[in-house]
Structures are given as structure tokens and as C-alpha cells.
Structure 1
Amino acid sequence: MHPLSIRAVIDDFELAPIKRAIVFDPSDKEKGQLITPQIEDRSFSPYRKFTYTLPGAGTVTQFVSNRQINSRPDGPDDIFQQLQEVDLGLRRYPLSAAKVGGTLNAQFAVNYGMPYDFVVDVDSRAFSEACDPILRVLGRLTWATDKAVEAEGEGGTAQKPNELLALGYFEDMNINYHDDGESTLGPTIASLSLGSKAVKTLRMKYKYYYGLTKNTKNVLDPKADPVLEGCAGREWRLKLKQELTNGSIAEKDYKEEWKKRQKEWAGGRRLGDPPVCIITELHHGDMVVMNGEGVQKYYEHAVALEKGGGSKLRFALTARHVIKEKLGNKSMGQAWKGDFKLTPGQTYDGK
């Protein structure tokens, strides 16, 4: 394909030096389930920092970029162009759980560093094989990971990313709801958006929102049901769980009363998909960090690419920490691919 300039895939408004993101009025009844972020303009300037807190689970932090950041030498504008001019190894892979054999995943993908298996078995390349723009992206995401974890003020330090998954895709190649909760991963996941605007949505998983398994409709084990803030019927679910904990009711009676209360709450309505609780616009140069094991355990997210124009192109580059000790025998031999050392020109200082 012929390389596309950044101005061919985003409009003039997105090139402006303003700082932007989605913020909804929590009093809006149609948007009542949405979480309002904490906004910070100074500590990470020229970025604007949005922090969404998911009680009992973790945080989603967005570093909102702008023209000042994007236009710097070796910044997002340059990286977007450079990624189109080198052979990254992007390709589509067969879906492991596809109902129709040979079905390919929607995006073009390549993995660098530690092996990372999700719904597709993507080839992993060593960081020594990665081009300079990929390593500069890793430097940016390492900075974002550190700053997001430090900002939570719990005294912890982030596990450094040792894997980077690059996705490239066009219109109608959206990423459906999923989580990044593989057992081999650390609790922090950071991503950089380049090119066309996309919208990311996050919602609670069905079984935690309703307290029921989706297919069998079995009541969750109370020990496995956190009754998270924002879930359906939270007040009566908490009350029943407390009664079970203090011995007021037996487990059998708990389940019977639970189903009775749930039926009354539903009022004969069909249980649909859980409502979206976070909506963010991912613009060119923006970075998003999801931190906390509960974010991937209890929630799922999707990304939809902006439509229109026929020339929409987006790169989504995501860095994680793969825990070597949790790799299976098949992947252990590839663990050396996670070894790397960024040069001073590939590290990032937030400017």
C-alpha cells in the first residue's frame, strides 16, 4: 500500500493545539451509568490526564495528546509515517476459536518481545529485530505505565513492559469486546493510538454485572461475586451476601432468595448486555493505561474505528509485562525475545 499522511486520516480539528476528550454530565439520565474522570492539566503537561476509577478493580488513565506533542521530531506524526514505510511483519492470523475453519482475525498483527497468545497465535519477534519506531513506542508506553501507576499514590512500582503487540487496521475492522486477562500477564496494560480516531468503550462483564452466568443462569458463588459498585441489584445482593456471611441464612436459602429477588428486580425483562460505564475517544498520539488485576477480571473493552472517507488507518500499539515464570513449556523457549535495552533516543520523558 502507499503510505498515508497523517492529514489524510484525521481532520483539521484533531490537528488543533487544543486538549480534548469526552466528558459527560453525570446528571444526564441516558449517560447515567458513565463514570466521570478526574481531570488533571498541570502535572503531566503538555498532556491532559484523565483518570477513571473502577472501585474494587483499578483505574483507566488516558494521557490526551495534542499537536504540540504529536509534531515533535520522532513523535507520533513521524512514527505514524515511519511504521508505514518499513516491513513490520503485519499479517492476519487464523482465529483459534472460530466456528468456521480458516477465519482470520480482523486486524493485521505482529508481536515483539515476550510471547503473547490471545485469540490468535501471533508470531513473536525479538526486540532486536524491531525497527527504531517500534522501540520508541515502547519507550513512550513504558513512561505512561510508570506515571499512571505512580499517580495512584500507593507506593508501588510498575512492572516494565517486555512485550509489544502492534495492530494495524482500516474501517470496519473493529475490536469487539474482550479482556486482556491472560494469566501470564501483569496487572498493567498501556496502549498508544496512531492515525484515525477510534472510540473505546468499557463495561462490566455479564456475570459480575448480573451475578449470573450468561448461558446456564447459575447464581455465582458468593465468594466469587464481588458485588461491584454499579452492578445490577447491588443493594439487595450486598444485603443477602452479608446475611450469608454472618450465618443468618444457609447457602441453600441464599440461592433461593437470590433468585427470587433477581426475578423481582428484572420484572420480566430480558437481561441484555451490561451498560457501558466508560467511553473515551482515542485520538492520534493518545495513550491509555489500564491498571489493576480487577480491570481485566471484572470488565471488558471494545474499540471501534471512526468511519467515513474510505482512507481511515489506525495503528494500536499495546505493551504489557509477560511473567516469565507463568509461561508454558511451549513459550518458555521464546522468553529470551523479551530481553532489550532502550537507547537514550528511544526512552521518553513525557514531552
Structure 2
Amino acid sequence: MLKVGQLLKFVSDLNPQNTPTRLSFYNFLKGFPHADDVLTPELIETFFAYCMDYPHWASNKQQLGHEVQFLLENFNAFYQQKFDLAPIRFPQHTQIVEIEQASDLIDAVSSYIKTISKEGDKFRVLPDQNKRVVAILLRADKSLEVRTFDKKFTIRHGALEPLRSDLVLYYTPELELSAHNTHKIEVAPYITAQFRVVKDKITGVLLRGYVFQKLLEMKNEPLQDQTRVLFPIKRLEQFFLDRRTDPYYQDLISQLERTAALIQQGDAEALKWANIILGKADTALENIFLGDKLMTLLARDVRHALGEHNRKNISSSSALSSDILIAQQLPEADEECLKIAPLKEFDLTN
């Protein structure tokens, strides 16, 4: 069977920078699948689905489809027709439907989830921001899949099907990111992350734009440090995780509580890291735990403690300045006393 790496080399030898279509195809093959993966029609259709999500390619789908088809036909001829192109639906034959009503979008996603569910599975479909929906699919073995969908659908065999159906986070029954699956999410408009997580270390890439430019590559790095990926994950986890059991949330709450207490005790180190902790809390409140009352209250406590500390310092500085001023005036007062004292003594002797 042919591998992705063979197609990647074939495209590379054709100077992919010469055309946007070829460059997009090359970057996609290099960024998402592994070179040793089996080359399948589904992978080619996934590339087209990603392209059609961009207005540029949606407006130029004829050019996109014809150029990739010509490229694949030449690749297939080079490898003695070992890659079957017949199952591939090219973009010039694809119809895109955008569902505007939120209730219709939820119904369409629910219908799709039913087609991929098995006996014993349960699911919920919930509205998200920006006309997106999130599907929480609980498998019979208690593992969890968190799938995100936008309003773009295509028609396949007479039924609506999400244009992009591979944006999924996989969780173990213990609600930890699975180390046995490849995860994929959209971390920002037109920026997609694909990664694996093993022992809280992340390896993967971020691809951006309609030519799938590599924006960031992560190699066995702490997930906590990769906020571009961590924050979108945490936002999705709000749909099914209790914050009281979320280690990231609990750690941040603990840091805020400890910082406020130490500042009140006058701890110098706490004063140094307080603004860092506040920055983390503000970012979390804006991007993950939107409007969380406890975190908002604790952040306010830290700010209040900082304010009290600064006011005390200002008061102490003012008092010290007054003492210094008085001390500076004392020599003059002593000289006056020295001038007066002998006169009194003189009067007494007389």
C-alpha cells in the first residue's frame, strides 16, 4: 500500500511553491498526517474539506479540484495505478450548506452523531460561541469524545454531513486526555492544532491559513506552558468537567488564596509574584473560566492586599520623611537653647 510519504516526496519534487494549490497540498501533507501513514482517499477528502472552509478556496474550488486531480493522476501513473482515485469526491463536485439557525444546527449535528454512535453510547449537543456547537459523546466503555462543529455542512448520499468532522478531543474514563489518540481542535479562527499528549507533555503542530503554514511545532513540551492549546482545551472541558475537580483551576485558586494571605503578612516574595498570579487569573477569567465568582473574588482580594500594602508603605514613607525633616531642624534648635540657657543662669546668680 502506498504511504503518505511517497505522495509528499512526489509533490515536493514538483516545486510546490510554484502555485498556491500545490503549496497548500504539500503543507497539509507535511503538517497533519505522518509520512508512514497509509495513503487513503479519506485523507485527500479531508484536505479538500479543510480547504473548503476558507472563502478563498470555496471561491476557487474548480482550480483547486482540477489541479490536485491532475497531480494525483500523475502520481498514480508513476506508481502503476496503485492508488484508487474513484472514491474521492473532488471540490468541484461538492456542495456546501451553511446552517444559520442555532436550533437547526443542533439538530443537524445530533443527526450526524447518531450515525457514528454505537449501542450503549450516549451524547449531548450543546451550543457554543460564534455559532458553533459542541457534542459530548460518552462511549459505552466510559471514554469520552468532545467534538466541535461549525455551521458548514456538505451533502453526502442525500444527507447533511459536517464539512469538518475530525475536530475531536479524546478522553479516558478517568477524564484525562488519551495518550492513544491524536487530538485536533481549532485554537483560533483558521488556526488548527493537531497533537498527542503523553504524561502532560504535548507533541504536535499548529497550522494557519489557507496554505496551511506551520505556525508552531511542539515537541514533548509541558502542556501547561502551551497556552495556545491549553486554553481552548480548558474552554471545552467546561462542558463536562466540574471546576472543583479540575487540577488547573484548583491550582490557580490555591495560588490566589496563598498570595493574598502572604501579602497580608508582609511576605516580600509574595509581593514579587503577586502580579504574575494576577495576570494568570485575569487571563483564565477572560479565556477559560468566564465570570467565575470565586476566582474573581480571590483576584480582588489579592489586589486589595497589594493596595493596603502600598498605602502602608506610603504612610511609612511620609512619617519617615517627617522624622528626617525634624532631625534636620534639631541642630538649629539646640543652638538657640545654648544661647538662652546662659542668660537664665546669669539672672539666677544675681
TM over 0.5: no
Higher strand share: 1
Higher helix share: 2
Task: Decide which structure has the larger Cα Rg and report it.
Answer: 2
TM-score range, shorter chain: under 0.3
What is the TM-score with the length of structure 2 in the denominator?
Answer: 0.25
What is the TM-score with the length of structure 1 in the denominator?
Answer: 0.25
> More relative contact order in 1 or in 2 (CA 8 Å, sep 6+)?
1
